[in-house]
Amino acid sequence: MVAAAKQKSLRNPSELVDARLADHQRLAALTDVAARYAVAITPAMADLIDPADPHDPIAKQFVPDGRELNEQPEERGDPIGDHAHSPVEGIVHRYPDRVLLKLVNACAVYCRFCFRREMIGPGRGGLSPRALTAALDYIAGDAAIWEVILSGGDPLIVSARRLEDVTARLAAIAHVKVIRLHTRVPVVAPERITPALVRALRAKDKATFVALHVNHPRELTSEARAACARLIDAGIPMVSQSVLLRGVNDDAETLGALMRALVECRIKPYYLHHADLAPGTAHLRTGIAEGQALMRALRGRYSGLCQPSYVLDIPGGYGKSPIGPNYLGADGAAVADFTVEDFNGRRHCYPPQP
């Protein structure tokens, strides 16, 4: 526990050193990283970090690392192709029935693996009133848009008053039926989930969902669980999204514990993302084969409620594809014959042989 971290968010390497979250000998290297990529660690997350553990999984997510300046040839500033699908400012329209509405370009914390790390940070602001109106006009003008996903940055750092205005304006669009918010706030700043904010998220005659970004079971503190309960008890269903990260959750025991903890909180595991090719994140990425092996380890050994979809956001803006292990194969005896593998690795004919 870091007592100094309880006072305020830590926003530069000097503060990290003072809070004993980084060694003074690393200060120069971390200052170089912070000059390029935003740094912020909330009190809730700083308090979880064990300074004595050089492999602490919470620190790996939020404390800058000098390796972030080592870019690989395959990495790119816009790894999932947001820009290619942005018809107006603040909108990403990659799929026919849903759009992303990026309200703000800042977060409560800055993850070291963030796929939008080149686009977000303090001072990047958010949508101006004029840009927001243009974005909402775009949504209103396309009757195929069934769902609007509020993202950024993190939309839950916005004031309750502004969120209420946005949800009310979305509720006035007849063909929009679902409003989804992607956020880390219930975990990293649970005190922000106030009754006023919860009320602001509910829109008349619309379904509101909150997708929680969480990567390690330790993040689901009693305060975080209570914040999620405030949302769920108000009738807002929650799902989760996690990123597969080396040294954080790349073993079956940790990943399974995370998924179970989410289900215990009444949050349905939704996506396990293969880490994107964001600049300077190679040290945190696993291989796809490792991710597939982890999904095999979860299957059958953990409840079906605990099974997320393992997905890859295809570089260049081509969307997400499931990349989990395949349990079905062609038998070869006949076109309609297959073999299917159970969770113990045994293979069975389908249809069964007489």
Catalytic pick among 107, 228, 265, 306: 107
Residue 202 is among the residues annotated as catalytic for this protein: no
Catalytic pick among 142, 225, 320, 331: 320
Catalytic pick among 37, 114, 306, 310: 114
Phi-psi region of 121 (alpha: psi -120 to 50; beta: other; left: phi over 0): left
Using alpha carbons, select from 35, 34, 125, 72 the residue that is nearest to residue 315: 72
Catalytic pick among 111, 228, 265, 306: 111
Distance CA 177, CA 173 (A): 8
Residue 331 is among the residues annotated as catalytic for this protein: no
DSSP secondary structure string for all residues of 184-221: SHHHH-GGG--HHHHHHH--TTSEEEEEEE--SGGG--
The count of residues in the chain is: 354
Residue 111 is among the residues annotated as catalytic for this protein: yes
Catalytic pick among 65, 82, 154, 313: 313
Residue 184 is among the residues annotated as catalytic for this protein: no
User: Residue 53 has what DSSP assignment?
Assistant: -
Catalytic pick among 56, 78, 82, 276: 276
Catalytic pick among 20, 36, 95, 169: 95
Catalytic pick among 98, 202, 246, 260: 98
By DSSP bridging, strand 309-313 and strand 320-322 are antiparallel
Residue 94 is among the residues annotated as catalytic for this protein: yes
Using alpha carbons, select from 233, 241, 235, 236 the residue that is nearest to residue 214: 241
Residue 320 is among the residues annotated as catalytic for this protein: yes
Catalytic pick among 56, 76, 82, 94: 94
Residue 270 is among the residues annotated as catalytic for this protein: no
Catalytic pick among 116, 117, 268, 285: 116
Token pair, residue 31, equals: 């200052």
Residue 98 is among the residues annotated as catalytic for this protein: yes
Distance CA 70, CA 73 (A): 10
Strand-pairing partners, residue 99, are 148
Just list the catalytic residues. Answer: 94-95, 98, 107, 111, 114, 116, 276, 313, 320
